[in-house]
Amino acid sequence: MMLPGAEERLASQTARWAPRWERNISHFVAPAERMAQRAEPRVSRTVKRIDDRLPLERMAQNVDRRIKKGIDRMNKTG
């Protein structure tokens, strides 16, 4: 983009080729959308199952408790 006239050349090439790219990409849009719609329920179920299985709340409470105990211990010795 440092060359003189590069932006104009890029704009003219884009105006020339963009309709062809859009026409060609339309062949892939519908199958990709169908695949995403088919995979979405399975993915959401898997994420929910993993989320239910992980003890994140209990782990967060343990970390919080350890931090508080460490702070209390430092205050008592200080």
Residue 25 has pLDDT above 90, yes or no: no
- The stretch 48-70 carries a mean pLDDT of 90
**Global confidence as pTM:** 0.40
Residue type, 36: A
Phi-psi region of 3 (alpha: psi -120 to 50; beta: other; left: phi over 0): beta
Residue 65 has pLDDT above 90, yes or no: yes
Q: How many CB atoms lie within 10 A of CB 76?
A: 7
Distance from chain centroid for Cα 64: 28
CA distance 65 to 59: 10
User: Angle 48-52-56 (CA atoms, 0-180°, nearest 5)?
Assistant: 120
